[in-house]
Structure 1
Amino acid sequence: MAGKQLSTKTVVAIGIGAAVFVILGRFASIPTGIPNTQIETSYAFLALMAVLFGPVAGALIGFIGHLIKDATLFGPWWSWIIVSGFVGLMIGFISKRLNVEEGIFGLKKIIFFNVVQVITQAIGWFVIAPILDIVIYAEPVNKVFLQGFAAGISNIITVGVIGTIIIAAYARTRSKSGSLTKETS
């Protein structure tokens, strides 16, 4: 295979990440009152995994996880599955810049993370999902833009609050660079 191969660790993360995305999507979502639109905790977890494992893992976790969740509920809804992959991909692109493995997720990184996730989700849920709903499924314009807006706002808030908290908690478990010193006798 030409190019860079995925590590075993990343492949395992994709499998486990997709499974957790499904479980959270099935059992830890809150109805919004808008048909087929929930507040999804799975996107906070997707953000964490994308930050830890990068864009390919983020895209595959979002895509596969959403596909399996839909397939076990009512059948694949491709427009939103694609957007879940897009969200994981785009958040994953900033993983190296955030580098939470250093043990630092301070205010500047939190702001950067949230600016990126808000822009990404706004593009995905306010634009891409509704347009694909119209193109693929011939859904009514007003309905899909309302659903996209509700999903986008709830996902932005969920990732902004829960995602930021779990990424910060993860970063605190990592040793800060240069924090270990050699003991002298």
Structure 2
Amino acid sequence: MNTNNSITKIVATGVGAAVFFILGRFISIPIGIPNTSLETTYPFLALMAVIFGPVTGALVGLIGHAIKDLLTYGLWWSWVICSGVSGLGYGLVGRKIKLRSGSLSKKDLIVFNIGQILTNIIAWGILAPSLDILIYKEPANKVFTQGLVSAGLNSVSVLILGSILLTAYAKRTTQEGSLRKDI
């Protein structure tokens, strides 16, 4: 990895974590289940992870969620970890599509969305509730309800808003091989 790429990823991590915090703090819609909301953070996290890779995605999720928790109701490690896992998963799935080359086909969107749904099920439907039980001794029925609802909501928000963001990014990026020299 060259220096410019490293610097870009470090800057993307810092800016991404700040935007994650802002979205999570100010554009989060409570849904009636305690400590569970419709989030705009995860479509943004998906975009960052696909563009900058799984490590940057994981760091944006971890740092952004930790800052949000610290500045709101207190650090909840199980869900902070799962935001990192989500960013990592979105970034790994993003390697299967060619977004950075300016190309995003319907097949790419289908592949990405199948992967992000699996990522959300693993992170929020399985890992978050399991960590809540192990770390905080939370009741299983409560945390699995929260986790499964969050997995579903995050999947739908990434499916809709994330797909819009990925498509918009692809449209503004010059397609690889589309420029040619006029003689």
TM-score, normalised by the number of residues in structure 1: 0.94
- Asked if the contact 1:121/1:156 (under 8 Å) is kept, the reply is yes
Q: In structure 2, how many angstroms separate the alpha carbons of the residues matched to 1:171 and 1:4?
A: 24
- Specify the alignment match of 2:61 in structure 1: 62
2:108 is the alignment partner of 1:90: no
Gaps of 5+ in 1: none
- Specify the alignment match of 1:176 in structure 2: 175
SS of match in other structure, 2:96: helix
Q: In structure 1, how many angstroms separate the alpha carbons of the residues matched to 2:138 and 2:70?
A: 20
Q: In structure 2, how many angstroms separate the alpha carbons of the residues matched to 1:84 and 1:139?
A: 19
- Specify the alignment match of 1:30 in structure 2: 29
SS of match in other structure, 2:38: strand
SS of match in other structure, 1:48: helix
- Specify the alignment match of 1:118 in structure 2: 117
SS of match in other structure, 1:7: helix
- Asked if the contact 2:93/2:116 (under 8 Å) is kept, the reply is no
**Number of residue pairs the alignment of both structures matches:** 182
- Asked if the contact 1:53/1:95 (under 8 Å) is kept, the reply is no
CA offsets, 1:154-175, max 9 Å, x none? 1000000000100110010111
- Specify the alignment match of 1:39 in structure 2: 38
Structure 1 residue runs of 4 or more that deviate by more than 4 Å after TM superposition: 3-6
2:26 is the alignment partner of 1:18: no
- Specify the alignment match of 2:79 in structure 1: 80
Q: In structure 1, how many angstroms separate the alpha carbons of the residues matched to 2:111 and 2:95?
A: 12
Gaps of 5+ in 2: none
* Cα deviation, residue 4, structure 1: 8.7
Identity %: 51
Structure 1 residue identity aligned to 2:122: I
Structure 2 residue identity aligned to 1:36: N
Structure 1 residue identity aligned to 2:144: F
- Asked if the contact 1:55/1:88 (under 8 Å) is kept, the reply is yes
Q: In structure 1, how many angstroms separate the alpha carbons of the residues matched to 2:55 and 2:176?
A: 26
- Specify the alignment match of 1:131 in structure 2: 130
CA offsets, 1:1-37, max 9 Å, x none? xx99870110000000000000000001111100000
- Asked if the contact 1:44/1:163 (under 8 Å) is kept, the reply is yes
